[in-house]
Amino acid sequence: MKNTKQFSIKIIFLITFIIFIGISFLIKFIPGMEIGKNFGNFSFQMIKILPAIFILIGFFDVWMKKETIVKHLGKDGGIKSFIWVFILAAPMAGGLLPAFPIAYSLYQKGARLTVILTFLGAVGIGRIPMILFESTFLGWKFSLIRIIASIPLVILSGIAMGRILEKNGYKLPIKS
């Protein structure tokens, strides 16, 4: 019953949004037209990138063996596990969109929650494409200082959040 109600509310919001955009174009309401155009552009960009992301995530899920993940990112991974997740996060394109399914796949295969949270933080701060883009506008010194300051903070926050969640018995739901 609860899922049906949530689904109905989502459908109502979607229909309301579509009606709002349609009326905005009919009466030339500029903010609504801009929202519609931005939504359309964003949707088109997502449709272009999502198939490639899903294929890569599928390859990752199949190619990465559970034993490898447990060995390097599991309970016995130690400090090296944090180095591995930064290496894994560095070449990622697409921001957090592909990172969440990869993080889930890592967790299913035995990676620690602290490592997963650090991986998500690393994707947010340490992707090479983002750093290159940032450095063209703000300079290499700024980018280098930001990365050097951010890496320990991401690791410490991942460890802290992971320990708090594990202490409270939190586990991600795993579907088989």
pLDDT digits (tens, 9 = 90+) for 20-39: 999 999 999 999 999 999 99
8 CB-side CA count, 13 A:
5
CB 147 within 8 A of CB 131: yes
Q: What pLDDT score does 128 carry?
A: 87
In this prediction, the residues of the chain whose per-residue pLDDT falls under 70 are 1-2, 175-176
CA dihedral 118, 120, 121, 124 (to 10 degrees): 160
Which residues contact residue 89 at a Cβ distance below 8 angstroms, ignoring those fewer than 6 apart? 99, 119, 122, 123, 126, 127
Q: What pLDDT score does 149 carry?
A: 94
Q: What pLDDT score does 2 carry?
A: 62
Q: Is 139 helix (H, G, I), strand (E, B) or coil?
A: coil
Q: What pLDDT score does 95 carry?
A: 75
CB 129 within 8 A of CB 93: yes
CA dihedral sign of residues 92, 93, 95, 98: negative
Q: What pLDDT score does 119 carry?
A: 94
CA dihedral 165, 169, 170, 175 (to 10 degrees): 150
Q: What pLDDT score does 105 carry?
A: 86
Q: What pLDDT score does 164 carry?
A: 95
